[in-house]
Each structure stands twice: as C-alpha cells, then as structure tokens.
C-alpha cells in the first residue's frame, strides 16, 4: 500500500518527492523478521545505485582494517585542498540489521563535499547484539584519532548509525577521549523504545513504521537490554560536557522527527552549537536521494555547516 498523500501535502513538496511517495511502500514487519531475505533484497537494490555513485563521482574505494575492524576508505577524485588532512568518520544506517560501509550517504559526501570518508563495516544484528557495534566503531575512532587527530575528524551517521555514533561520543566523552571537530546526524535513531510525538503521528506515514523500528529492529539489536537504557537509547544519556558543533537533519514525515528534536534540545542545553534542519513533507532518509530537490538542499545545508565549523578552526 503506498504511503498516504493528500493534495494539501502535495502542494508544498517537489514533484519528484510526490512521485517518490506515490510509489513508496513501507517495510513490512515480517520482512525484517526474515533478516537474511531482507538484507539480500536491500543490497541487491542498493548495489547498482552505489556503483553508479562511485562512477559518477569517480571515487576511489579501498578496503582496510583498523584495530581489526573492516573499514572502507572512500576517496574523492577531486579532494578540496582547503580541507586537506580532514576526514569523515561514517557510521552507516540500516536498522542495525542491514546496510554496509558503502552506503549512499558516505559515497555522496565524498563526491559532493570532497573529503575522504572512513566508513565502518561493523557487525550486524541479530548475529551480534548491542553494544558490539558501538565497541567496534569506538575501536576505529581511537585509531582515527591517532592517525588524523580528533580535530580533523567529522563524524557522520545515519539512522541506526546515529544511535551508534551518539552512544560512542557519550562514551568517548566519559573516557576523556578527544571529540571530533563536528558531528552530522541524518535522522538519528536515538531512542529505541519508540516513544515520542512523531512516533505516533508519522506511524503509517513514513517508510519505516514504529512497530518495525521498535518491535523488530530494536529487539534484534538490543538483545534484552532495557530499551530506555541510557547507552542503548542515548537521548537519555547524561552528558559530561558540551558536544562538538552538531547538525541534525530530518523531515516532517520522518518517524524519527521527535527524536531529532529531542536530541537538538539536549545538545543545545549541554552548551554545544547545534543546528536542526527540518524539511517539509520529507521522510526518513530522504537525504539519500541524489536528485531529489529537497535531498540536494538538505545535503548542501549539512555540508555548509561542516565547512563553517572547519573554516572557524
């Protein structure tokens, strides 16, 4: 069943967005429970898109390991000399159960912003459970601090990757590690318990339903840990100081809009520079769409935030 859209909603988004929503189908809960099948279908759909992005932006791809964890290096063919030595540390999305380091977000930022990306291929659930993925990404982050210096690293994450990133930064902060120069979150999943205003009003309106997110993805990842645990759902975590400058991107149709809003106020009140980008009528992960006008605009705003932070350093 396609997602609902009325003439009043069509009036304020691009024709391309109307087309996307009219053709979109939500992910059924049964599909997520059958993880292997879902993963195969997801990767079969993504692989040609990823390859077209690599070709379009003429990206150089290299597989390495850092601290024993597989990492994909995505190199721009025309790196911005102004930002030499600066790198992106990416944690991909995919509901903890699917997705790879070669996700679109990572490819697009390398191509569009001209920074080299280090993207982590952390282990997926249900094969491994919380907090394995966070520990793997933290291992890579430690190596990256040594290699590049924290102040040259920009953290990027999407959706479930946002949970990993946020929890990782909270831990790093508590351990006294140096934090990255800036953070960019695309529609982060920071509360795995499924509460919030948009978890109600956008349920059935977004690509991801609340019962898929909470009932399936969170359950497969959490492995019995209380869904309001402060490091599993890090929007509840106590922060021991301000976060680095952070930009958060979401849309009014995003199931996770409320989580983005709550994270915004949390980081703002902790004293860090924080920017919230909300796009009209946009769904979970609309920023993934290369040609979508609202996706282009949102990515430009994220890149502009990152550049302004790096320029001020």
Where do contacts with its own copies occur on this chain (CB under 8 A)?
6-9, 11-13, 193-202, 205, 210, 252-253, 257-258, 261-262, 264-265, 268-269, 276-281, 297, 301
| Cβ-based neighbours of 136, under 8 Å, separated by 6 or more | 69, 120, 122, 123
Structure tokens at 248: 């958060």
In degrees rounded to 5, what are phi and psi of residue 230? Answer: -70, -15
Q: Which is nearer to its own copies, 136 or 279 (CB)?
A: 279
CB of 235 to its own copies, least distance (A): 9
CB of 234 to its own copies, least distance (A): 15
Residues in the chain: 313
Cα(152)–Cα(85) distance, rounded to whole angstroms? 7
CB of 202 to its own copies, least distance (A): 7
Q: Which is nearer to its own copies, 47 or 197 (CB)?
A: 197
CB of 266 to its own copies, least distance (A): 10
Q: Which is nearer to its own copies, 38 or 279 (CB)?
A: 279
Q: Which is nearer to its own copies, 177 or 261 (CB)?
A: 261
What are the CA-CA distances from residue 283 to residues 28, 193, 274 (Å)? 17, 20, 21
What are the CA-CA distances from residue 254 to residues 184, 202, 228, 282 (Å)? 17, 7, 21, 6
Structure tokens at 226: 């209380």
Q: Which is nearer to its own copies, 138 or 213 (CB)?
A: 213
| Coil, helix or strand at residue 53 | helix
| Cβ-based neighbours of 269, under 8 Å, separated by 6 or more | none
DSSP-derived secondary structure for 254-294: -TTHHHHHHHHHHHHHTT--EEEEEETT--TTGGG-SS-HH
* CA neighbor of 150 nearest in space, from 167, 122, 173: 173
Q: Which is nearer to its own copies, 145 or 235 (CB)?
A: 235
Q: Which is nearer to its own copies, 55 or 311 (CB)?
A: 311
CB of 309 to its own copies, least distance (A): 16
CB of 216 to its own copies, least distance (A): 17
CB of 183 to its own copies, least distance (A): 18
CB of 196 to its own copies, least distance (A): 5
- Residue pair 234/170 in contact (Cβ under 8 Å)? The answer is yes
CA 291 to chain centre: 19
CB of 276 to its own copies, least distance (A): 6
Q: Which is nearer to its own copies, 37 or 200 (CB)?
A: 200
Run of H or E including 201: helix 197-201
Cα(256)–Cα(221) distance, rounded to whole angstroms? 18
């Amino acid at each position: 069943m396609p997602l609902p859209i009325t003439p009043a909603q069509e009036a304020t988004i691009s024709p391309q967005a109307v087309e996307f929503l009219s053709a979109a189908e939500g992910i059924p809960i049964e599909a997520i429970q059958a993880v292997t099948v879902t993963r195969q279908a997801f990767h079969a759909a993504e692989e040609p898109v990823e390859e077209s992005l690599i070709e379009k932006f003429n990206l150089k791809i290299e597989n390495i390991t850092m601290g024993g964890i597989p990492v994909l290096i995505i190199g721009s063919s025309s790196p911005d000399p102004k930002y030499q030595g600066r790198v992106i540390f990416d944690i991909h999305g995919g509901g903890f159960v699917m997705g790879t380091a070669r996700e679109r977000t990572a490819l697009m930022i390398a191509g569009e912003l001209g920074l080299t990306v280090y993207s982590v291929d952390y282990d997926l659930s249900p094969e491994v459970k919380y907090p394995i993925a966070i520990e793997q990404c933290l291992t890579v982050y430690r190596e990256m601090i040594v290699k590049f210096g924290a102040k040259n690293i920009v953290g990027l994450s999407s959706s479930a990757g946002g949970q990993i990133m946020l929890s990782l930064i909270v831990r790093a902060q508590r351990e006294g590690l140096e934090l990255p120069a800036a953070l960019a979150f695309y529609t982060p999943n920071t509360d795995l318990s499924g509460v919030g205003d948009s978890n109600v009003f956008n349920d059935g309106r977004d690509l991801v339903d609340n019962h898929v997110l909470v009932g399936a993805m969170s359950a497969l990842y959490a492995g019995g840990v209380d869904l309001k645990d402060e490091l599993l759902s890090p929007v509840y975590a106590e922060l021991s100081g301000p976060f680095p400058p952070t930009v958060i991107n979401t849309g009014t149709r995003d199931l996770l809009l409320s989580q983005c809003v709550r994270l915004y106020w949390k980081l703002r009140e902790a004293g860090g520079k924080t920017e919230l980008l909300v796009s009209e009528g946009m769904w979970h992960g609309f920023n993934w769409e290369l040609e979508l006008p609202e996706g282009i605009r949102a990515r430009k705003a994220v890149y502009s935030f990152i550049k302004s932070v790096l320029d001020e350093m």
